[in-house]
Amino acid sequence: MERVFSAINKHKQNVLEHKLFQDVKKITRENVIEKMNIWAPLFVHLTMTFRDINQMFYHFPNPKNNLQKAINAHAEVDSTHWNMLKTDLQTLGIYNDVKNYGDAMDMIWLDAGAPIRNYMYSAIIRAQMCGENTFLRMTAMEAGETTVKMFFNTTKYIAELYEQETGKQLHYFGNQHIDSEVDNAVDLLIFEQKELNQETLEKALYIVDAHFDKFQHFLDYKYSITFPDKDQS
């Protein structure tokens, strides 16, 4: 697994150069509410799909060893993070805008969110590829966890601006979410020295490459709706 984790880290270093991570500091207190009202609804589908991925594809119903138990422990925690988003939607004043099923459907499946839904559907495909293989599940999970931590370490800045502007705390986009990710991280050391056969290794490296490729597109889209007047080149 050492080669797999090394590949994840290499991708991470490259993605950290993305303009979203650089330009997010240009968001100001004066426009943070507008930005959060654009961002937050697009995370409803993402968050609930992430919950399903953890419960349906990563979690082992009958874990047979410490590796599978470690994966389960993290998957169970990640499956609860949607509650933080629900709280943030209430704080943002968006929660009560949904009066009926039609409103909910319009918000969750609005055209503006299609690129983000596409990102999550690709995550489902990779999760399904793992089958019952513990090491492939760990690969897909850790690739995802790496990008989650990168992204939500960035949203902490926006949550801080929002609190400065309104006096209200955000949890999903703020410290509570990222702290949960860090505090409940899988112990990679128990996986690192495990030897993978060639077929599993090749599939694992493909999952890593595919994940970061899709994450790049995700960041590109987030940048385009956050800074619509800027050139992404």
Mean pLDDT of 191-201: 94
Band (231; pLDDT cuts 50, 70, 90): low
Residue 137: inside a domain: yes
- CATH number for the domain spanning 119: value is 1.20.910.10
Residue 110: inside a domain: yes
CA 73 to chain centre: 17
Residue 30: inside a domain: yes
Structure tokens at 226: 């956050």
Residue 159's domain spans which residues? 1-226
Q: Is the pTM of this model over 0.85?
A: yes
Q: Quote the pLDDT of residue 96.
A: 86
pLDDT per position as a tens digit, 154-171: 889 999 999 999 999 999
Residue 57: inside a domain: yes
Average confidence score pLDDT of the chain: 92
Residue 5: inside a domain: yes
Residue 233: inside a domain: no
Residue 232: inside a domain: no
What is the distance between the alpha carbons of residues 14 and 114, in angstroms, rounded to a whole number?
25
